[in-house]
Structure 1
């Protein structure tokens, strides 16, 4: 595998520029781990981020290379009651090693704080141990286990980051 050299930037998703880039990123990572991935209602958010992350209750960003190609992605949704959820944090294997996962997490944390979040939650397949270490490094803590609402009933760890009312973290 040839590593991409960077630099990379995190920008809001734009259908006219990024097209099916998020779909290709998530599909490639699923293939890397031997997970099934197919177009269905559960995965429609990465096929059509602009429809599922509308800019009012959901936001989606991508990491792009110098040519504008999508090499990573992440989403954020307002779940109500001060809770926001991180979705779809994925980085292509050839773009790893440039802190893109951390930069995408930081984008989510900063966006949630700006929107007045009390906490951010996320769920991650039990096989993504490297991602779990990243989540803990940026301040999330593991707090539960669940079977995902996906067609495969994947096993997932849940993580949470809470923002104290006084604004410290």
Structure 2
């Protein structure tokens, strides 16, 4: 039996797996000094992300969460891309997990008439920087962010994607 990647909207049954995935990548892979307590949104995903023009998705393979992505409604028909994480062994062209998650989120945003998606990321995520640029995100200065964009302490690089 062959496995196939499935994208689903987040539900509470995935909470522990989502938290474990994100913390593992942040702390162990990239040595970012961030904890679950620093990210209270992880404990209230449905209330925090799934409102207005916001949503949260998981990538599932063999009944296991291998990736996440979310859009946070920041008003004015704009969203913040947040919590995009993919387990290391599922990155790249074989599974196309990141591309599928991003395409899904951007398609959903377009359906909701979102005009722009912003993101903030850490300097350590160099491969992610290339991925976002390859997918149409343009680097911007922090001053160019929407005023309600939630800048995290670890965010030092910012990008914007205009939805046509």
Q: With the length of structure 2 as denominator, give the TM-score of the two structures.
A: 0.84
Deviation, structure 1 residue 6: 5.0
Alignment partner, residue 96 of structure 1: 91
Alignment partner, residue 141 of structure 2: 144
Task: Judge which range, 126-135 or 90-99, deviates more.
Answer: 90-99
Residues 136-162 of structure 1 deviation map (CA, whole Å, 9 limit, x = unaligned): 11111111248x844xx3242111011
CA RMSD of aligned residues (A): 2.0
- Give the Cα–Cα distance (whole angstroms) in 2 for the partners of residues 149 and 51 of structure 1: 19
Deviation, structure 1 residue 96: 1.6
Deviation, structure 1 residue 71: 0.8
In the alignment, structure 1 segments of 5+ residues that lack a partner are: 164-168
Q: How does 1:1-169 map to 2 (within 5 A)?
A: 6-16=3-13, 18-30=14-26, 31-40=28-37, 42-66=38-62, 68-97=63-92, 98-145=95-142, 149-150=151-152, 153-163=153-163, 169=164
In the alignment, structure 2 segments of 5+ residues that lack a partner are: 144-149
Q: Is the 8 A contact 1:20 1:47 kept in 2?
A: no
Deviation, structure 1 residue 69: 1.0
| Alignment size in residue pairs | 154
Deviation, structure 1 residue 128: 0.6
Q: With the length of structure 1 as denominator, give the TM-score of the two structures.
A: 0.82
4+ residue runs over 3 A deviation:
none
Deviation, structure 1 residue 19: 3.0
Q: Is the 8 A contact 2:121 2:154 kept in 1?
A: no
